[in-house]
Structure 1
Amino acid sequence: MIRPEAIKVVAWDFDGVLNRNIEDGIFAWSRNFEADLGLSLESFSGFLFQGRFQQAMVGEACLVEMVGEWAGSNGAAGRENEILDYWFTRDALHDPAVLLMVETLRQRGVSNVMATNNEVHRTAFIESTMGFADHMDRIFAAGRMRVAKPDPGYFRHIEQSLGVAGEEVLLVDDMEENVKAARQLGWQAFHFTEGAHEALTAALKL
């Protein structure tokens, strides 16, 4: 049960919440990857997302270098920046309805922060190119923090940085494991699924 009167900060997940880039479990960037770039999606995804990306996520490896390594082995040497630009741009699909909630909360004096598991390069794109620095009071990203949800250290870092208690923060996230982890640490949390806009609006009494 969410207690909106106790909320001082709403911590918004990015992909799947602030950004509507996932449909039926498929990321928008991947839909036309092969047709647009002439490269194998299966090879690219298999190389990147079976362990390697997790290192970049928490700042232990460089995503640009990883993509460059794959590109060099798959007939696309020197195209790593093109590939990343395609990925980031095709996946830039902010949700106007969620941003309206953000602005309404801001007008009520509630702080809004981003709590994402993105690595540093995409975080910079989200912050600057997509303009989320203008919508969020702070952006907390796994790549910068060097820890990712659902690790308890992720949530504690946010609490300490903002000087708030867990019960004063509401996490809005599309991953159930992150929601459960937040609740175990005393946070309020809302599991945001497709079409949950009205339920979240009602829970926040907006």
Structure 2
Amino acid sequence: MNPETHVLLLDVDGVLVTPPEWFGARLLREHPQQTRDFFQTAFVSASTGQSDLKDHLPAFLKALGRDQTPGDFLAEWLASEHHPNPDLLPLVRALRMRGWRTFLATNQEAWRTAHLLDVVGLGEVVDGHHASYAVGHRKPDPAYYAEVTRRLNVAPTQIVFWDDSEQNVQAAQAAGWQAHLYTSPADFQQVMGLD
């Protein structure tokens, strides 16, 4: 693969960021129904750019019985997932030094995307992002892959994509991308020719 003609897209959760426990998983364990409702409605709206996540938090916090401000709740959420993958990031940096244009390809709303880039430090290893809130669609919707391909202005076959979701990988392959299931930094290193 020629880095001058190919683009690298990377999922975030489970790939570039690997916390010991997801904040949403903890909420789901503690408040299953309220958390499911939130992530199936409000979060989908925010992560497709239709609304601001913070506008949904007062009602969610009330449903959870939490006495927190939306800002404090969001800060707790973001801090709990501040775990960049220490073994993968150097490999991504090495690819960029070889000339790869690299972007985040993640189902994400605006607040966490900014946090990932500016605070977690992913902005130092990528050229930009194609977060779902900015694209207007979420993986594995075919519209997500079509719109990202259009924005990159390259042939689908020139896009190399890594995700830890088999469903997202299969949808990307159906869109013509060179998509790989992420399992480990070692596998990534081998496939990307960094051995």
Counterpart secondary structure, 2:88: helix
Amino acid at match of 1:103: R
Please state if 1:27 is matched with 2:22.
Answer: yes
Tell me whether 1:166 sits opposite 2:156 in the alignment.
yes
Q: CA deviation at 1:75?
A: 4.2
Task: Give, in whole Å, the separation in 2 of the partners of 1:73 and 1:183.
Answer: 39
SS for the counterpart of 1:96 is: coil
How many angstroms does 1:162 deviate by?
Answer: 2.0
Look up the match of 2:14.
16
Opposite residue 178 of structure 1, the aligned amino acid is: N
How many pairs align?
Answer: 192
Amino acid at match of 1:113: F
Residue type of the alignment partner of 1:163:
N
Superposition deviation, residue 5 in structure 1: 4.3
Shift of 1:170: 0.8
For 1:22-61, list aligned pairs within 5 A: 26-27=21-22, 30-31=25-26, 40-42=30-32, 44-61=34-51
TM-score normalized with structure 1 length: 0.83
- When structure 1 is superposed on structure 2, of 4-13 and 164-173 the one drifting more is 4-13
Q: TM-score, normalised by structure 2?
A: 0.88
**Residues 176-204 of structure 1: CA distance to partner in whole angstroms, max 9, x if unpaired?**
111001111111011013xx221121111
The answer to whether the 8 Å contact 1:18/1:99 transfers is yes
Structure 1: give runs of 5+ residues left out of the alignment.
35-39
Amino acid across the alignment from 2:107? N
Deviations 1:49-107 (A, max 9, x none): 23332121102232112111122345445521111110111111101211111111111
CA–CA separation in structure 1 for the residues paired with 2:150 and 2:187 = 29
Partner residue of 1:62? 52
Paired residues of 1:151 and 1:181 also in contact (CA < 8 A): yes
1:88-138 per-position Cα deviation (integer Å, ceiling 9, x unaligned) = 111111012111111111111111111011011111111222222221111
**Aligned counterparts of 1:79 and 1:133: Cα–Cα separation in 2:** 28
**Mapped partners of 1:49, 1:152: distance in 2:** 21
Aligned to 1:198: 186
| One-letter code aligned to 1:134 | E
5+ long unaligned stretches in structure 2: none
Aligned counterpart, 1:84:
74
1:56–1:62 Cα contact (<8 Å) kept: yes
CA shift in 2, pair 1:14/1:108, >3 Å: same
RMSD of the TM alignment (CA)?
A: 2.2
Aligned counterpart, 1:189: 179
SS at structure 1 position matched to 2:36: helix
